[in-house]
Structure 1
Amino acid sequence: MTATAVPALALADLATYRPENKVPSSYFAAFAEDDDLADNVMFRAPAFRHHAAEDETSADMIVTAAGILTDRHGADYLDDVDVLLTHSQLPEVMVRGCGGEVAHRLGLTPSTVLDVHNGGCAAFAHLIEVGGALLAASGGRKALIALAQNSAGQIFTQDQVRSKAQAAIPGDGAAVATLTLGAGGNPILTTVSRSYGEYAPDMTAVSSPPRKYWEAGPGQIHVGFTNAKIAKVLSRGNRQVPEVAIEAATQIGVRPSKLDWFITNQPNRVFLRNWREALELTEENHPDTFDECGNLFAVGVPMTLDALIDSGRLQPGQIVMTSAFAHAGDFAAAAAIRWNGRS
């Protein structure tokens, strides 16, 4: 029996969206109160971040980002999408994500619509891997992956939360990308995913007084940080992001220090510095959008990649290594891309 070769997976193009409301750090400074975590390195605020409008949903932001692709390539650019994968940091409705709504609003008829919740900040590489596998399995023509970070303007501006150190870090935004099989595009050289389920319980949502997130009550939900948890997250993140990036670089035969570009998620400046030092890369080779956009969770990697493309610094033939970790360290993923240009 002769095995059938699987066509190469490629990233065809991507587009991103930043909400109009650009919020300076002074907004949060006006509400700041004593916080035991105020001096923690995790919470050194960016200069700016964007907040989604009050009635702006994950689907709204994704559809807007997708509109950039159709404006760029033509109204029929997404007509051959057979696989649609979405990731929303804060699904507006319990149980389901926004995939079905996105497909309907874009006029798509994909054979597979999947809302992927677990990827967290590493969802971009994770969706590339999953989307590629689904395309190969089904013989599909094109996959659309879509990510939305929508919790900054909804969770972190609540009147009980905006005074906390954690509130000034997140920003909102969205990203979409198309994947294809076969020649052309920007080849996905490899992907690496690692699950660390033992760390999942360390990511918690809390309120005062305590309640489950679906229960009515006076306490506003926010992330349950403590100094002890932060120490664990710092240790895991410092280790995991370089680990999966180095593993991916090894698979493609490139020394990590010789990578052209390294793009990661961007929780804070400390992680950014530690990650590039671990790979022996310069700040020039490790771009970010932290001071313009804050921590964008899953959208951070594609947002920075899109900004790098627009800057003109990313040249054909260069390799982009993306890497990220999720939540309190329960997942990490990397993807290596050889850039040829938008297609």
Structure 2
Amino acid sequence: MDFTDPAWTTPPVSLLDVASYLPGEPVGTEYFTRFSRSERMAKNVMFRAPKGRHHRGPDETAVDMAERAAAPLVERHGAQELSKIDVLLTHTQLPDNPVLGCGGELARRLNMRPRYVFDVHNGGCAAFVHMMWLARTVLRTTDARTALLVTTQNCAGPVFTQPDIRGLAQAPVPGDGCGVGLLVKNSSAPILDIECRTYPEFAGDMDFDTGSERKYWQPGEGQACVTFTESKVAKVFTRGNRLVPEVAHAVCKRIGVKSSDIDTLVTNQPNRLFLRNWHDALELPAERHPDTFDSCGNLFAAGIPVTLDTENSAGRLRNGSVVLMAAFAHAGDFAGAAAVRWGAAR
């Protein structure tokens, strides 16, 4: 690795810690099978259901989930240290208030007064990587020293259990959860490289509608949900198989590590086939690619930090090892990868 490269002359930023929260008791697949309406679509590899998932409570807000996810960080580092966070970034799959994000309210709950608050809606399932890039940029270019990243997936319970939606093939796949990451300006667990790519040509390929002409904010019948056609599913599958290895290989090349030598690969967790294809493409054995899909379902943006926390808490991430994160978003309009020299607290 070339430490004379300009990237190494800027202040190092580390992923100091991760934590997560899964709401409620696990929900079994049998909840959905009694409502199933499409055996054909349910057999599609994109919609093969996990064994379990979690659903947030009917009155549980994104801020509630974020506060609970951050609780282990408060316990490990102290409320006083968390109150000094300089940069707060949040990503919420289903904003409770469509006019504003949850950053301000979360800061109030955690007794924080961050100078920079960003409620980031793009990035999708790759939002944690995207937010790492944004936070690192702020930390490197200002006198800010700490950042808290919060990714909340909270649409499984309220959206995918609606009477008109719960019988769809995709309904059993998502789960709810929240993952957080603490970044600091030091070299204790350095971020080695980050790659973020936007693909505008795919930006209009994800549909969110009510099954009628009604807009989701208008009164009337119909329940809002992300919708799929078989042709669009095929396109997304092809793109996902390509995009995640592409950004992962780009990071590996720049840090001078073969993909097959990566110690741990952590991706978003959309379905079993993507997981298999991704570690095969990077020439990694399955045991080096942790899988939380069967216990959590598709956690969208929260998938990476929740999986990181699961592995870290179990002691399966060795300090000093190279952990590679990679994901793609939506119908393929964004993809990102990041490599870290692991050293997070647990």
**TM bracket (short chain):** over 0.9
1:66 to partner: Cα distance: 1.1
SS at match of 2:218: coil
- Per the TM alignment, residue 16 of structure 1 is displaced from its structure 2 partner at its CA by 0.2
- Structure 1 residue aligned with 2:61, among 57, 67, 74? 57
Q: CA deviation at 1:97?
A: 1.0
In the TM superposition, residue 72 of structure 1 has moved relative to its aligned partner by 1.8
Offset, 1:27? 0.5
Provide the residue aligned with 2:330 in structure 1. 327
Match for residue 111 of structure 1? 115
Which of the numbers 287, 295, 313 marks the counterpart of 2:298?
Answer: 295
Q: Aligned partners of 1:333, 1:34: CA distance in 2, in Å?
A: 33
For the pair 1:274 / 2:274, whether they are aligned, the reply is no
Equivalences for 1:1-343 in 2 at 5 Å?
5-34=9-38, 36-184=40-188, 186-342=189-345
Q: 1:35 offset after TM fit, Å?
A: 5.3
Paired residues, what number? 340
Per-residue Cα deviation, 1:199-226 (whole angstroms, up to 9, x for no partner): 0100111222232121122100111200
Q: State the TM-score, normalizing by the size of structure 1.
A: 0.96
3-state SS, counterpart of residue 291 of structure 1: helix
* Code of the aligned partner of 1:136: R
How far apart, CA to CA, are the structure 2 residues paired with 1:275 and 1:152? 25
Query: Percent same amino acid among aligned pairs?
Result: 51
Task: Give the Å deviation of 1:10.
Answer: 0.3
- Cα drift, residue 270 of structure 1: 0.7
For normalisation by structure 2, the TM-score amounts to 0.96
The question of whether the paired residues in 1 share the 8 Å contact of 2:193 and 2:255 is answered with: yes
2:3 is matched with which residue? none
Comparing 293-302 with 70-79, which one deviates more in the overlay? 70-79
Measure how far apart 1:77 and its partner are.
Answer: 2.4
User: Residue 180 of structure 2: SS of its match in structure 1?
Assistant: strand
Equivalent position SS for 1:20? coil
In 2, distance between residues paired with 1:248 and 1:120?
A: 20
Deviation at 1:183, TM superposition (A): 3.0
Q: Per-residue deviation at 1:290?
A: 0.4
Note if contact 2:66-2:152 (Cα within 8 Å) is conserved in structure 1. Answer: yes
Post-superposition Cα deviations, 1:69-115, rounded to whole Å, max 9, x if no partner, equal: 11122221212211100000111111311111111111100111110
AA matched with 1:81: I
Where in structure 1 do 4 or more consecutive aligned residues deviate above 4 Å? none
Task: Tell whether the 8 Å contact from 1:21 to 1:53 is kept in structure 2 after alignment.
Answer: no
Q: Greater CA deviation, 202-211 or 151-160?
A: 202-211
Give, in angstroms, the shift of residue 236 of structure 1.
0.5
Runs of 5+ consecutive residues of structure 2 not aligned to the other structure? 1-5
CA distance in 2: counterparts of 1:309 and 1:337, whole angstroms: 13
Q: CA deviation at 1:32?
A: 1.2
Deviation at 1:19, TM superposition (A): 0.3
Query: 2:206 is matched by which residue type in structure 1?
Result: M
The one-letter code of the counterpart of 1:38 is A
Measured after TM superposition, the shift of residue 34 of structure 1 is: 3.0
Cα distance, 1:42 vs structure 2:
0.5
Deviations 1:120-142 (A, max 9, x none): 00001110110011122221021
Q: 1: CA distance between counterparts of 2:340 and 2:194?
A: 9
Shift of 1:20: 1.4
For structure 1, list consecutive stretches of 5 or more residues without a partner in the other structure. Answer: none
Comparing 208-217 with 20-29, which one deviates more in the overlay?
Answer: 208-217
**Of 128-137 and 294-303, the range deviating more from structure 2:** 128-137
Report the Cα distance in structure 2 between the residues aligned to 1:81 and 1:106, rounded to whole angstroms: 10
**1:252, 1:5 → 2: CA distance?**
15
- Between the aligned partners of 1:223 and 1:274, the Cα distance in structure 2 is 24
* 1:174, distance to aligned residue in structure 2 (A): 0.4
Residues 133 and 286 (structure 1), Cα distance of their counterparts in 2 relative to 1, 3 Å cut: same
